[in-house]
Every structure is written in C-alpha cells, then in structure tokens.
Chains A and B, each alone.
Chain A
Amino acid sequence: MAAEAPTMRRTPLYEKHAELGAKMVPFAGYEMPIQYEGIVAEHRAVRGQAGLFDLSHMGEFFLKGRGAGATLDRLVSSDIAGLAVGQARYGLLTNERGTIVDDVIVYRISEVEYMVVVNAANIAKDRAHVLARLAEDVAFDDRSYGTALVAIQGPRAVEILASQSDADVQALASFGVTQARVAGARATVARTGYTGEDGFEIFVTSADAAKVWDALLAAGRAAGVKPIGLGARDTLRLEARFSLYGNDIDETTDPIEAGLAWTCKLDKDFTGRDVIAAKKAEGPKRKLAGLVVQGGVARHGHEVTQNGDVVGHVTSGTYGPTVEKNIALAYVPTPLSKLGTVLAVRIRGKDVPATVVKTPFYRRPE
C-alpha cells in the first residue's frame, strides 16, 4: 500500500466510506469501497430495495458544438445521430481494427452538448482516442476529476430519488436524462445503470457529492437503502450480463464475438465499421457464452475445456446471489456456444462441469 499511496486518488466521498466502515481497495487508480456490510447482503439490497453507489471514479467527457453529434456518431458504434435531447444510449468506442477501445454511455444534454461516460481505467486512453478524431467545430472538455457520480439502483430507487429531487423522475424514461436539483445541488440525472434494476445515475460537481450522498442515504433508510461496494456491483452486473471492460471486452475482442452486435449500427459510418460488418457476415469464430458451473466458482482467466482439451477461457465468474448459482462468461468456439452444451471449467486443476445457458442470468420481474 505504501508504494501505491502517493498516486492513489480518492473520490469526494472517501470520508463517507470510511465512516460507513467500508473495506477499501485500489481500483483504476482510486481507493474505492469494495464492500461495506458484505457483498451478498449488498447485492440483495439492490435487488430487493435499493442501493447507493459512489461511481465518481468514472470519466465524463463533454463534447460541445454544432458538429458534436456527428463526431460522436463516427466514434461510437451505436446510433448517436438518432439521439434526441434528453436521451442516452450505450455504445462502443471502436478502433480501425474493429476491436473495442471502451464501452460508454452517450448522453445528449442539449441541442449541441453531449456527455460521454467512460470507464475509469480508460480515461487517458479514451481522451487521446477522441482528441485524435475530433472535428474542428467541436469543443472537448474532460471533466472526469471535477465530476462526482452517485448512482441509486433498485426497485425503490425512484421513490427515494423523487423525495429529494425537484424533477419528475418517475416520468423520466429508461435511458432518459434531465437537468434537476437533487438535495439542492444542480445535477444531471439519468435513468441508467449497471445492475439490471431500475435506477438512476446522478452527476454533480465534486463539491456537492457528499450532500447528495447523505440526503439519499437518509431518505432511503426506511426503505432499506444500503451503500453498495464494487464487489456487489460486479455480481449485479454479471447476473444482468453487462460486459466489464478489461475482463469481457478489450482491444483484442470485437463486438460480434462479445455479443454486442446490437450496439453496432452497421448502416452508418463509424470507426472500424467495415471490419466489424465483415466479421458479422462471416460469423464469429468464438462467442462469449454464459455458463453455469456445477461445483466451484469460475474466475477470470480460468480455462474452459471439453473432454480435457482447452477450448476457451473464462472472462468473468462469480457466485450469483440472486440466481444462487455459480455463473460465468467465457469465450468458446462458436459451435460450442450452443445452449445446453456441456463443457468444463478447469478450477485448481480439476475439470468442473459447466453448461452453456441463456443470458442474462437474471432479468428483473416486470
């Protein structure tokens, strides 16, 4: 720890995490809470009631100008040109080789302004990637370090946020974004998240972060809201089969094999489009498949085998507290990605049976 200390960043909510007894770990250059009470209890709180997340480590880029939409439409795989003001969309930053630089959400804030939320570990890389491809009539502003992000996720998130906001958050559509006041602070509020539950992400200046955090935690106490660490964030997102950059997707993976073809609008021009379209046409050699493992927890890097031969590798794996199964994502040859195929995951030298299953592992009740 001592060697890392000088370079480690803290979010504006660091003191709050300490007061709440969080276990802190280094993550993407930040000291982040991995858990407070325990991963399983926190996971269940989000599925059952609501949870509060400090995601201030995430990066926020702002692109402004007449050409901002067109620039982002070329940089991002999904339909950014089709975004109305007040809408957000998930997409991929891709490179000329047709592989994945990052996965992002683009928010159209106004007629001429967009916010792009990027992974913390990729801020510097993404900034360089975007700046190298920026049109002249677009102003770029990286506000990652001045912006805090508090997420409230879970079935009761909407009522808790409504009690602290002047905006009609109930009426905000999924992937909608609006300007509002939360606990008196000026905020950008979006109905987005990474848990598989209904929920909101609230962007405020770092100075306002503690105020928003405290207000939501206090307002949600009766409803059972809990602070949630990165540990449960990972189990929640994996049950919902959301990709984790650096684990499931990176610059060696393409959107087709990663199961992210739905994010690629192939009838427009974007970086790497031709390569990706060709991969889609010929069909991927391997696919990211969902596995249920019987007897042991698969982890990132474990080998996937069939009849003792290594055929692939696990990119994410955990125990899923809601599905109550050991779940994993793994790249396997396309013929072996068929539902019901029985493979194995090599855990500590032993081949443990694993069945290819439909994903997401968890879907929230309607």
Chain B
Amino acid sequence: MSNVPDDLKYSKEHEWVRADGDVVTIGITQFAQEQLGDVVFVELPEKGATVRQFSSLGVVESVKAASDIYAPISGEVVERNVKVIEKPELVNSAPYGDGWMIRVRLADKGELAQLLSPDDYRSHIGETAGAGGD
C-alpha cells in the first residue's frame, strides 16, 4: 500500500537512508508521514553535529503530536535541509524527495548492514499496520 522505494534502506522507526558513497541522505518514510498527519514543524541538528545510530537526531511535529526522528546510522551532519524547516509540509508531499532531513558522512559503513531492505521494511509496516488497526 505505502510507497517503499527499492533503492533505499530503512529503519524500524520509519526512517530511510539513501547511500551515495560516504555521504548518506536521511528522511522519514511515506508510511511515517501518513501516520503523523500534517507536519507543521521540523527540528534538525546543525551542520557539524554528530548523530548516533538509533539515537534521536531531531523531531517532527504534526498538528496532533511530536515524534522523534532516530538516526538510522552514525556520523557527522554535512548538510541539513533548510527547505524542510521552512516548509515542513514537504515531509507530507515528498517524503523521499524535497522532504529529506539531513545528509550525514558515514562513521561506519558496517552500520548500513543493520538496516532493513525494502522487502523487510514492507513486511515491518505490514505488521505494524495490522497491530495498530485492531
């Protein structure tokens, strides 16, 4: 049901990673933005900050609630998406495109192996949706 692009890796907490050499791009998934509803505020770490795998890197707030964004991998923030801070609704309209969050220089490539494949993530949200819906 939910769009899960085949060229990305995923975390159980609904972040995606696009690996491009040493620098990866991080965002939240289509499924995550659907669950959140209208995103109205995004808080992201500054350039130069360090993020740790599976630790909170920032926050997305929808009209209803605030949710942590967890870093799917560790490393140094080389860029944060200023556009998404100014226009948080990009998270809803283009979660895999203009709604990306940060770019990070990988500290440990091995961490990528701990992430979910698109198929694993699909079954993960299948489970999640089933558990939440009943």
Please list the residues of chain A having a beta carbon within 8 angstroms of any beta carbon in chain B: 1, 34-35, 38-41, 231, 235, 295-297, 299, 318-319, 321, 326, 348
Contacts and interface: CB of A to CB of B under 8 A. Distances in A.
Contacts of B43: 296, 348
B41 A297 contact: yes
A35 B37 contact: yes
Interface in B39-82: 40-41, 43, 59, 61-64, 66
Nearest to A25: B64
B98 interface: no
A261 B62 CA distance: 34
Contacts of A295: 41
Contacts of B40: 40, 297, 319, 326
B59 A319 contact: no
9 contacts: A34-B64, A38-B38, A39-B38, A41-B38, A296-B61, A319-B40, A319-B61, A326-B41, A348-B43
Nearest to B62: A39
A1 B134 contact: yes
Nearest to B89: A40
By secondary structure, the B interface counts as strand
Contacts of A35: 37
A164 B18 CA distance: 54
A39 B37 contact: yes
Contact of B63 (A1, A296, A318, A348): A318
Contacts of B61: 296-297, 319
Given A38-B38, A231-B63, A319-B41, 14 more contacts: A1-B134, A34-B64, A38-B37, A39-B64, A40-B40, A40-B63, A296-B43, A296-B61, A297-B41, A297-B61, A319-B38, A319-B40, A321-B63, A348-B66
Nearest to B92: A38
A297 B37 contact: no
Interface of B: 37-38, 40-41, 43, 59, 61-64, 66, 134
Contacts of A1: 134
B38 A296 contact: no
A40 B37 CA distance: 9
Contacts of B38: 38-41, 319, 321
B41 A39 contact: no
Contacts of A39: 37-38, 62-64
Given A1-B134, A348-B59, A231 B41 contact: no
Nearest to A235: B63
Contacts of A34: 64
Contacts of B66: 297, 299, 348
Nearest to A324: B40
Nearest to B85: A295
Contacts of B62: 39
Query: Would you list the 5 A-B pairs with minimal beta carbon distance, nearest first?
Result: A319-B40, A40-B38, A39-B63, A297-B61, A319-B63
Nearest to B134: A1
A288 B43 CA distance: 28
A321 B89 CA distance: 12
Looking at A40, A295, A326, which has the most chain B CB atoms within 10 Å of its CB? Answer: A40
B132 to A, nearest CB: 9
A35 B62 CA distance: 13
Nearest to A35: B37
Contacts of A321: 38, 63
B64 to A, nearest CB: 6
B95 to A, nearest CB: 15
Contacts of A231: 37, 63-64
A141 B64 CA distance: 36
Nearest to B56: A348
Contacts of B134: 1
Nearest to B133: A1
A38 B92 CA distance: 11
Contacts of B63: 39-40, 231, 235, 318-319, 321
A1 B61 CA distance: 24
A295 B40 CA distance: 10
Nearest to B131: A1
Contacts of A318: 63
Nearest to A347: B66
Contacts of B64: 34, 39, 231
Contacts of A299: 66
Nearest to A319: B40
A319 B66 CA distance: 12
A39 B89 CA distance: 13
Contacts of B37: 35, 38-39, 231
